[in-house]
Amino acid sequence: MNLRLIAPSALALASVLMIAAAPGVDTAGMDRAIRPGDDFFAYANGAWMRTAEIPADRSNWGSNQILAEQVDKAVADLIQAQAKSHPVPGSEAAKVGDYYATFLDEAGIEAKGTAPLKPGLEAVAAIRDHKDLSTYLGRQLRADVDVMNNTRISTDNLFGLWVAADFDKPTQYSPFLLQGGLSLPSRDYYLSPAPRMAAIRDGFKAHIARVLTLAGIPDAAAKAQRIFDLEMQIARVHASLVDSEDPAKGNNHWNRAELDARAKGIDWSAFLTASGLEKQASFVIWQPAAFTGEAALVASTPIETWKDYLAFHYIDRNSGVLPKAFVDERFAFYGKTLSGTPTLTVRWKRAVAATNGALGEAVGKLYAAKYFPPSSKAAVSAMVRNIVAAFDKRIDGLDWMAPATKVEAKAKLKALKVGVGYPDHWRSYAGLDVIKGDAFGNAQRAALFDSRFKLARLGTPVDRGEWVMNPQLVNAVNLPILNALNFPAAELQPPHFDPMAPAAVNYGSVGAIIGHEISHSFDNNGAQFDATGRMRDWWTKADFAHFDASGKALATQFDGYCPFPDVCVKGEQTLAENIADVAGLTAAFEAYRASQGGKAGPTILGLTGDQQFFLAFGQTWRNKTREAALRQQVLTDGHAPAQYRALTVRNLDAWYSAFAVKPDEKLYLAPKDRVKVW
């Protein structure tokens, strides 16, 4: 990798240093003039919210983004050190350095102009008939589904491919095929009659035309209209986000004959041969109606329109490694128009992101070695064990759950495989060619290398220890089919976890995150899988009815949160995450209390241990978001906006005691209305 050319903004650096220097609750960021029971998010974060400014290259800013900024700088510094060490040519270290340096070489990219596009555009131009089109679509199929969004993919390839353990046979991998083909975040952006959405659609058509013009493609305006019209047709057959999030609706096994019969319009022999899936006897079709509809469009839409569509998508998706005019155009639409972000992220940050995407575990190995010591791994692992134990105890105490269902739930908890910091085994990048001076080619080869790596899993035993996140990612994940969790090293840093912070603070912050991911095994989606990862109904009818009723009550609670007069949170869409927040925070609180011998932790700065716990949770969700980005999140994300996730506390009896919340306060819920899912 290459040198970091531009330092983070002063604001970002100051925020990072403030967090790193002050383990514990950020009392200066609170607004004590607000009663906790009226607006707990503002009480925990009000002073910070008044003074913090979203950096110009961000759509939102808060605890997670500040930490991510810190991590990016650390990664860039590690890359710089790697480059100075003069690694052996062709070694993993050299690939990391060369990929980063080449991405940073704007002058070299500019000098090549649009020449790197030529082979790809010639491949599109060579399409003569539907067999050629099927072959091209198959060749472009990539195992590039983000596991965090695998059920609601928005990819510019016509279909998305996800290689994962089979829902019915979790010891074997299966190819999951998902709806795709859209440039905008979801079908709602195409179908909504709202004036704001209509304006975005007009902006998108103009963007298509400008991209084609930059690439020297004639008749850009007319082609842009045809491309847009095709995406509108694709959007009309797409499944909704809520339906796409339900794994039961996605578990549809089609054999080869069914593929031909139920998805007419594609030459599946040509498609599967080109994609490397010709030996597969069956596929899991996540959104069957969409799959059928998109296949039909392949046959009914003129070949020339498909060629225009494919040419545009090929150019647009590769804008980041093309001359500046392409980069600026892509940002002008996807950054400014869709997210309201004023300024393009500086090149070194984009280089970090690109290198993480291409050589993630190679970079992660460097990051974990320097920033995640064995002592932190041991401390977090101990917290995980304590929170698992608290969840297990809660299962024992459920008066509504039948003994047989409890046995299944406890077995699932006992079998949970937890990865802390980094994977047990590092991935090899021996087969990836990284060539200095070829940014475009490096990106193409990295995408193909990763896709082939995932396709190679087919026919091999399922590895429950596999990681789907890089250690340098600020995030965490539950993998229901593997009954496994990943907690990357970057997530386990201040302010989420600090070995110097009081237990109450660590349990309220990273403890709640750990509890959240554990609880995903028992949310409305995770509860459909058993201890082995198999999709199986292990509930009694009465137990599930009780569980379902609790979920509906929580969905209704979140339906009432409205960031704008015309936009409210969708409780059903965000239900899985909200269940995990409630159950996870509850288990984390009980684990924290158990770690203190059943009592509250010591009072610090006038705050009791219990108050520190809940404030740490509230400050974990500290965030400011631009209006366009917040509107997009409510439409397309399975997570509720941060300020409402902080209000999860109103469902815990202990929060009322900690802050003496009274019935006349706005967040007060009567005990019978407090949702207790687990």
Cα(13)–Cα(66) distance, integer angstroms = 8
Q: pLDDT-derived band of residue 17, with 50, 70 and 90 as boundaries?
A: very low
Residue 254 is assigned to a structural domain of this protein: yes
One-letter amino acid for residue 537 of the chain: D
Claim to verify: residue 211 and residue 159 sit in the same structural domain: yes
Claim to verify: residue 130 and residue 256 sit in the same structural domain: yes
Residue 340 is assigned to a structural domain of this protein: no
Percent of the chain with pLDDT over 70: 95
Claim to verify: residue 584 and residue 650 sit in the same structural domain: yes
- 2 pLDDT more than 60: no
Claim to verify: residue 260 and residue 201 sit in the same structural domain: yes
Cα(405)–Cα(374) distance, integer angstroms = 37
Residue 96 is assigned to a structural domain of this protein: no
CATH number at residue 204: 1.10.1380.10
Give the residue numbers spanning the domain of 522: 29-72+351-424+433-455+471-673
Q: What is the pLDDT of residue 227?
A: 98
Angle at 284 between CA 279 and CA 288, to 5 degrees: 125
Decide: residue 157, CB within 10 A, 0-12 exposed, 13-18 middle, 19+ buried.
middle
Contact in structure between 238 and 290 (CB atoms under 8 Å): yes
Cα(651)–Cα(584) distance, integer angstroms = 12
Cβ neighbours of residue 258 closer than 8 Å, sequence gap 6 or more? none
Sign of CA dihedral 245, 249, 255, 260: negative
CATH number at residue 36: 3.40.390.10
Cα(147)–Cα(161) distance, integer angstroms = 11
- What is the residue whose two structure tokens read 């064990």? 385
Claim to verify: residue 289 and residue 158 sit in the same structural domain: yes
pLDDT in tens, 345-389: 999 999 999 999 999 999 999 999 999 999 999 999 999 999 999
Q: pLDDT-derived band of residue 420, with 50, 70 and 90 as boundaries?
A: very high
Cα(606)–Cα(616) distance, integer angstroms = 15
Cα(327)–Cα(509) distance, integer angstroms = 37
Q: Which long-range contacts (CB under 8 A, 24 or more apart) does 394-402 make?
A: 394/586, 394/587, 394/590, 394/678, 395/678, 398/678, 400/543, 400/546, 401/543, 401/546, 402/540, 402/542, 402/543
- 7 pLDDT more than 50: no
Claim to verify: residue 254 and residue 356 sit in the same structural domain: no
Contact in structure between 666 and 544 (CB atoms under 8 Å): no
Q: Which of 321, 341, 372 is the last residue of a domain?
A: 321
Residue 88 is assigned to a structural domain of this protein: no
Helices (H) and strands (E) in the chain — how many of each?
Answer: 30, 9
Contact in structure between 201 and 190 (CB atoms under 8 Å): yes
Cα(660)–Cα(665) distance, integer angstroms = 10
Claim to verify: residue 496 and residue 578 sit in the same structural domain: yes
Cα(320)–Cα(326) distance, integer angstroms = 7
Cβ neighbours of residue 171 closer than 8 Å, sequence gap 6 or more? 165, 461, 462
Angle at 505 between CA 501 and CA 511, to 5 degrees: 115
Contact in structure between 183 and 156 (CB atoms under 8 Å): yes
Q: Which two tokens stand for residue 625?
A: 């978001």
- 435 pLDDT more than 50: yes
Q: What is the mean pLDDT of residues 419-437?
A: 96
Residue 533 is assigned to a structural domain of this protein: yes
- What is the residue whose two structure tokens read 């909200």? 578
Residue 651 is assigned to a structural domain of this protein: yes
- What is the residue whose two structure tokens read 């035993």? 461
Q: What is the pLDDT of residue 10?
A: 25
Residue 551 is assigned to a structural domain of this protein: yes
Q: How far is CA 531 from the centre of its chain?
A: 24
The 8-class DSSP code of residue 457 comes to T
Cβ neighbours of residue 93 closer than 8 Å, sequence gap 6 or more? 82, 85, 87, 362
- 16 pLDDT more than 70: no
pLDDT in tens, 109-159: 999 999 999 999 999 999 999 999 999 999 999 887 654 443 444 467 899
Residue 563 is assigned to a structural domain of this protein: yes
Number of separate domains in the chain: 2
